[in-house]
Amino acid sequence: MGPTHQPDAIAEFQRLLDEWAAAIVANDADQIDTFVDPGWQLVTPEGGPVARERFLSIVRDGSMTHSQMAFEVLSVRLRGDTAVVVAHGTNQGEWQGQGFSADEWVTEIFVRCDTGWRCILSALTPNFAAQPEAPAPD
């Protein structure tokens, strides 16, 4: 059986990502943890792979906070109990007291378990098309 792409799956994962984003904006590490598998990994352009515990620890100690996060689910590919979700994401916050904002493509891999969908991998890709072009040299 091949992958499927269903509008109701997009709506389901949009709700899930909206709830996850709300937990991140609340800077609530325990609530964030309910969306991820114990082996979850975040892959960022800036730092490469980040383990779940590392991410949660920097949220807990306040090194990283978010004031805004939004996702637009673009596609969902289901294969059995695995879902690959591609979304457009934007966020703002602070990292060690310095402000940041990001516009990126987000790839999330979810697995279905007894308690629902849990993310096992999140990969972020900068949306270079959204960044202003540098002025041309004279």
- 135 occurs within a structural domain: no
Domains in the chain, number: 1
What CATH number does residue 16 fall under?
3.10.450.50
pLDDT of the chain, 138 residues: tens digit per residue? 445 557 799 999 999 999 999 999 999 999 999 999 999 999 999 889 999 999 999 999 999 999 999 999 999 999 999 999 999 999 999 999 999 999 999 999 999 999 999 999 999 999 988 766 655 565
Residue 9 CA to residue 20 CA, distance in Å, equals: 16
Residue 48 CA to residue 31 CA, distance in Å, equals: 24
- 118 occurs within a structural domain: yes
Quick one: which H or E segment has residue 36? Answer: strand 36-44
DSSP one-letter string for 67-109:
EEEEEEEEEEEEETTEEEEEEEEEEEEEETTEEEEEEEEEEEE
Tokens (6 digits) for 107: 């790839």
Q: Which domain holds residue 96?
A: 7-128
The model's pTM = 0.88
